[in-house]
């Protein structure tokens, strides 16, 4: 197995263990359709956060690719940011890694300051320019790295994810019941659905296009009714 895949599978385990420790796994209606060979979806909820979701497509044997999406939403009575970590990797490198604490209603939330300080000194050989839909929802300090293949950068991604999820889960409940972020969370979901790369990549990994369309709309970024 490649070093890139090894690193990302360890991050998947880190995230799942973190949610097992802090929340309870839930089984959302319709999500079972999107648990198939090579495609895994798990969702958690707790008194700390409203929804944590890990989505992994493992197409290493068929397409030479592995993809993961992770998103943690605070409760709607909490103005804390949204945790997001998305990555896709081939055998020898991570082609894209996106990581952020995305603001909701409180643009000066202390968790945003922590995130900015934590990623300030990180450097990448190659970064990506964000499209308009992404600039509307992500923070100015978002990590958007590509062509990651050196041991140094792979280790940097693991350490970054480890610090980020640990702090998020420790701090997010501190501002529960201090605001209303329902509309902001829906705004985030609506704009995420405008990403044209998500359905394109998932279809290229061999997933049914109708399943992918329904999954993105209803399960990957569900809006709060």
pLDDT per residue over 61-71, tens digit each?
999 999 999 99
DSSP class per residue in 14-75: HHHHHHHHHSEEE--TTGGGG-BTTEEEEEEE-SS-SEEEEEEEEETTTTSEEEEEEEEEPP
Structure-block tokens of residue 222: 């569900």
**What strands, in cross-sheet order, belong to the sheet with 39-45?**
24-26, 39-45, 51-59, 65-73, 82-89, 94-102, 143-145
DSSP 172: G
What are the tens digits of pLDDT across the range 198-222? Answer: 888 888 878 888 888 899 999 999 9
pLDDT-derived band at 126 (thresholds 50, 70, 90) equals low
What are the tens digits of pLDDT across the range 49-61? Answer: 999 999 999 999 9
pLDDT at 2 over 80: no
What value does the mean pLDDT take over residues 87-93? 91
Mean of all residue pLDDT scores within the chain:
93
Nearest to 197 by CA among 220, 218, 225: 220
Q: Where are the domains of the chain?
A: 3-220
pLDDT-derived band at 190 (thresholds 50, 70, 90) equals very high
pLDDT-derived band at 168 (thresholds 50, 70, 90) equals very high
Q: What pLDDT, on the 0 to 100 scale, is given for residue 207?
A: 84
The Cα 43–Cα 55 span in angstroms is 9
29 CB burial (10 A radius; 0-12, 13-18, 19+): exposed
pLDDT at 1 over 60: no
What value does the mean pLDDT take over residues 36-41? 92
The Cα 124–Cα 132 span in angstroms is 22
The Cα 132–Cα 136 span in angstroms is 6
Determine contact, residues 52/74, Cβ cutoff 8 Å: no
DSSP 120: T
pLDDT at 111 over 70: yes
Whether the model clears a pTM of 0.85, i.e. scores above it, the answer is: yes
The correct CATH number of 3-220 out of 2.60.120.560, 3.40.50.720, 3.40.1410.10, 3.40.1500.20 is 3.40.1500.20
């Amino acid at each position: 197995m490649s070093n890139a895949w090894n690193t990302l599978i360890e991050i998947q385990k880190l995230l799942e263990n973190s949610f097992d420790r802090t929340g309870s796994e839930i089984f959302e209606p319709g999500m079972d359709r999107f648990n198939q060979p090579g495609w895994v979806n798990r969702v958690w909820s707790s008194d700390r956060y409203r929804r944590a979701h890990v989505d992994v497509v493992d197409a290493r044997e068929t397409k030479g690719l592995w993809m993961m999406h992770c998103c943690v939403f605070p409760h709607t009575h909490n103005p804390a940011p949204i945790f997001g970590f998305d990555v896709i990797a081939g055998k020898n490198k991570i082609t894209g890694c996106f990581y952020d604490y995305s603001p909701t209603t409180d643009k000066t939330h202390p968790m945003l300051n922590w995130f900015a300080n934590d990623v300030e000194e990180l450097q990448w050989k190659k970064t990506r320019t964000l499209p308009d839909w992404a600039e509307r929802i992500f923070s100015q300090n978002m990590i958007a790295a590509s062509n990651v293949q050196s041991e140094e950068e792979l280790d940097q991604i693991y350490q970054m994810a480890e610090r980020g999820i640990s702090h998020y889960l420790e701090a997010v409940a501190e501002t529960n019941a201090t605001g209303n972020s329902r509309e902001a969370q829906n705004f985030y979901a609506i704009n995420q659905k405008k990403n044209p790369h998500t359905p394109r990549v998932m279809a290229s990994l061999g997933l049914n296009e109708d399943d992918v369309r329904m999954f993105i709309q209803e399960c990957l970024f569900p809006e709060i009714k």
